[in-house]
Structure 1
Amino acid sequence: MLSIIGLLTIAIIVGLLISNKITPIVALVLVPIVAAFVAGFGFAEIGDFFNSGIESVMSVVIMFIFAILFFGLMQDVGLFDPLINKMIALSRGNIIAVAVGTVLIAAVAQLDGSGASTFLITIPALLPLYKRLKMNPYLLLLLVGTSASIMNMLPWAGPLGRTAAVLGVDVTELWRPLIKVQVIGILLLIGLAVFLAIREKRLIAKRGDINEELFKERDAPINRAEEANRKTASLRRPKLLWVNAALALAIIGILVWGIVPAGFAFMIGVSLALPLNYPNMKEQMERIKAHAPNALLMAAIILAAGSFLGILNGTLMLDSLATDLVKILPAFVLPYLHLIIGFFGVPFDLLLSTDAYYFALLPIVEQVASGAGVSSLSTAYAMIIGNIIGTFVSPFSPALWLALGLAGLEMGRHIRYSLLIMWGFSIVLLAISVMIGVI
């Protein structure tokens, strides 16, 4: 009975998340409470489950709030602008250089863990280049999305925070083995960008000016983005560039070193960055208010997920579900279940939202695989690496819709152009991760 209730709970939550009719917070909080009542648990017991779940994710919540504030400040002061501008200048006019530059610019822009800011930086800056060279704008979206997805394995980005919340582990410890995967992924993507750029040169020669149709009516969104950039020019602090760079490197160094908790490191970073760049208290409060919505939304979702996981673990629904799945699935499949799910991770992105994938599917796979002797971290890495490349080919990604709006492109055409390439790239990266021992 617990297995049936648990399965229905997860199915309802996934359905609600897919429907986009309610926020993840509502689904993750209310549905498990109703399920716990149906299973025969009372208010006092559900309260204990809630406390247990919240305790397991509190460190992740703190890290997310201050990491988003810190990197939002670094974007405000223009820390990454010189590097991005230099890359654009170096790549101008050469199709292969433009493609490689796109990968590198997107990787730098994604350092704040926000897909929306990455697209706001890259699309307006690079689309005119693609237009001038008659390059397919869907190639721009493919390269930016894949590069941002690789960088999305950072501890202050969404997937690792969700995974850490599910497993109850320190997000920095979870990230360290993935650093080499990120490096390999970017190098592989540069190689893929060169290959696709060579193919693009041949296609441009064949199609002539036909690609001009893809750029009609595209100046308006670019102009709007340029206007927004002008409004934020007053926030830039070019004279403090090297000081801010040293601060950012110091915080990331502390994070990698692990000498203090990640949340504390970013808390220190925010406390130093605010008075350094904005001595006026009113300006400091305005910067906090500007980035607070993103920080608080992610924190609220993680807290809601803590409640969800606390109830499902406390009621033993997950344990019961995993035990019954072990009985149903063939024994030879169980040790490889995490790899099978990872292999189909990108297509899963078309069916499940990020919250549904990590908060509903991951706990079940982790429970089943751990029963077959697979470590929880191996399961997590297989599912992260297999799925994360498809983040920006999924219609469940709000940032992708922003990118499509900025570039004037269509979701269907983007999926047709990018899905198989992203999926193949994901499978290769998954296989390499197995070979180097991360999985």
Structure 2
Amino acid sequence: MTALLDPAFLGAAMVLTFMTLIMTKRMSAIAALLVIPILFGLVAGAGPQLGEMIIKGVLQVAPTALLLAFAVLYFAFMMDAGLFAPLVRRVLALVGDDPVRISLGTAALAAIVSLDGDGTTTVLIVITAFLPVYRRVGMNPLILATLLGLANSLMNLLPWGGPSARAAAAVQADLGEVVGPLLPGLAAGLVATFLLAWRFGLTERRRLEWSPSVAGTRPPVLLEEDEATLAARRPKLFFFNLALTGALVAGMILGLAPLPVLMMAAFAIAATVNYPRLADQKARIGAHADNVVQIVLLIFAAGAFTGILNGTGMSDAMASAALSVLPPSVGPYLAPITALASMPLTFLMSNDAYYFGVVPVVAKAAAVFGIDPTAIARASLIGQPVHALSPLLAPIYLACGLLKVDVADAQRFSLKWAALVCLVVLAVTLATGGIPLRAE
């Protein structure tokens, strides 16, 4: 009975139960994120403290929820006003209806937009630009989700990305020393992503029976603009909206203010200038309220889940238990083991829990065998493409909500490809000495 109440066992059982229920579609993600941790928290004897744990977890994700709520509305208003219509037309003119070009264009745009280091912005811009193309051609939207997630997660390994900063802080290392040796692996991961995009495109060509010889005979892919859509357009404000969006992105990159504050201010300006009549503002907000509510509820539910997971000590106990089962002979190989383990661990844990809970413990253990802590920090970053599919992250819910696909379907489709890209990054990083195969 004592073993069953062990925090490590309860934590593993809770995560496994949660994943099983949402992957088999027996419960919605929102319900599972709330019900499962509460039940396991009660079993752990944390009943009186559960409320405080949930509130703490929700408060931690509140800025993210605030950011996403206004980000969804801001970019929806920009879409309504027609800011992205010229971009979509340019993309359509460039890629045409060739699935290979469309797939490659998706990966390229996602990589470029991800330079700002914000996953939410990348999701909104890339899906806004490419979803009409995918719908008109008939391509699988899960391809868009996969390529978007891979490119964004790899670009987030750059110094201004959140994971790299966490990994460096966890082992108290210089950020440049952590990221620098990882760059060849990052480049290899991007190459693998583009090769995967090419493969997806070829597969879709066969499925859609597309060929260069008949490409010109098909109707051109056009934007769908009904009367309501055209009525919401603000073509005379295109350059104003472009400048406002450029200023918003620049403010994010430069860190002029907290991201939620920047997004709230930009939304207020965009709404006032584009739709000065209150009735028009209310209509635009109402048109996108469903997406906002779904996303914000999921984020708050994820905050409750992680609040209980961390508050009951299950997260720390799982990390300690995983390390305790390692035999001494395995110690010199902790760097590549950490890289491989980062895939499942970051999928099941938040970045904060992983980098500040697990990585410091691993780094201390690895130091005993002569492994540099910065190598462990790099190894811990390898699993980020898999982490991008974690049900504890907001962007995956945002992407799936905009694409109107189920989260479980996206995970099942993308997980194997994300793991493959992780292995490519690991192989190149090992080959270039960024991570030692074995301690000297």
TM-score, normalised relative to structure 2: 0.66
| Cα displacement (A) at 1:120 | 3.3
Q: Deviations over 1:204-255 (max 9, x none)?
A: 9xx9x9658xx9xxx9xx99x9666554222221111110011011111111
Tell me the equivalent position of 1:369: 359
Structure 1: how far apart are the matches of 2:50 and 2:416?
Answer: 44
- Does residue 339 (structure 1) correspond to residue 339 (structure 2)? The answer is yes
- SS of equivalent to 2:382: helix
Structure 2: how far apart are the matches of 1:329 and 1:437?
Answer: 23
- One of 107, 113, 133 as aligned partner of 1:122: 133
- Does residue 192 (structure 1) correspond to residue 189 (structure 2)? The answer is no
Distance 1:187 1:112, change over 3 A: closer
The one-letter amino acid paired with 1:265 is L
| Cα displacement (A) at 1:368 | 3.5
CA contact (8 A) 1:10 1:360 kept: no
Mapping 1:20-419, distance limit 5 Å: 20-43=25-48, 45-92=49-96, 100-101=104-105, 103-104=107-108, 111=121, 113-114=123-124, 117=128, 120-126=131-137, 142=143, 145-147=146-148, 149-151=150-152, 188=191, 192=195, 231-330=228-327, 331-332=330-331, 334-341=334-341, 357-359=347-349, 363=353, 367-373=357-363, 381-388=381-388, 398=400
Distance 1:102 1:430, change over 3 A: same
Structure 1: how far apart are the matches of 2:192 and 2:144?
Answer: 8
CA contact (8 A) 2:30 2:297 kept: yes
CA contact (8 A) 2:81 2:232 kept: yes
Distance 1:251 1:324, change over 3 A: same
- SS of equivalent to 1:15: helix
Q: Deviations over 1:133-175 (max 9, x none)?
A: xxxx57x9747741464247899xxxx999999xxx9xxxx9x
CA contact (8 A) 1:120 1:403 kept: no
Structure 2: how far apart are the matches of 1:377 and 1:48?
Answer: 32
CA contact (8 A) 2:252 2:262 kept: yes
| Cα displacement (A) at 1:309 | 1.7
Structure 1: how far apart are the matches of 2:192 and 2:229?
Answer: 32
CA contact (8 A) 1:13 1:31 kept: yes
The sequence identity of aligned pairs, in percent, is: 24
TM-score, normalised relative to structure 1: 0.66
Tell me the equivalent position of 2:3: none
CA contact (8 A) 2:111 2:155 kept: no
Tell me the equivalent position of 1:131: none
| Cα displacement (A) at 1:262 | 0.5
CA contact (8 A) 1:28 1:304 kept: yes
Structure 2: how far apart are the matches of 1:211 and 1:271?
Answer: 45
The one-letter amino acid paired with 2:310 is N
Query: Which runs of 5 or more residues in structure 2 are unaligned?
Result: 1-5, 114-119, 364-372, 436-440
Q: Deviations over 1:33-84 (max 9, x none)?
A: 22222222232x2222223222222221211111111112122212121122
Structure 2: how far apart are the matches of 1:335 and 1:297?
Answer: 39
CA contact (8 A) 1:103 1:189 kept: no
Structure 2: how far apart are the matches of 1:33 and 1:68?
Answer: 30
- Does residue 18 (structure 1) correspond to residue 23 (structure 2)? The answer is yes
The one-letter amino acid paired with 1:65 is A
CA contact (8 A) 2:89 2:223 kept: no
The one-letter amino acid paired with 1:258 is G
Structure 2: how far apart are the matches of 1:185 and 1:288?
Answer: 42
Distance 1:36 1:95, change over 3 A: closer
Q: How many residues align?
A: 380
| Cα displacement (A) at 1:184 | 5.5
Distance 1:95 1:272, change over 3 A: closer
The one-letter amino acid paired with 1:340 is L
CA contact (8 A) 1:17 1:27 kept: yes
CA contact (8 A) 2:347 2:388 kept: no
Distance 1:200 1:329, change over 3 A: same
Q: Deviations over 1:9-37 (max 9, x none)?
A: 22211112212222222222222222222
| Cα displacement (A) at 1:340 | 0.7
CA contact (8 A) 2:295 2:401 kept: no
| Cα displacement (A) at 1:113 | 1.9
Query: Which runs of 5 or more residues in structure 1 are unaligned?
Result: 128-136, 405-410
The one-letter amino acid paired with 2:38 is I
CA contact (8 A) 1:334 1:368 kept: no
Structure 1: how far apart are the matches of 2:281 and 2:433?
Answer: 45
Structure 1: how far apart are the matches of 2:281 and 2:351?
Answer: 40
- SS of equivalent to 1:113: helix
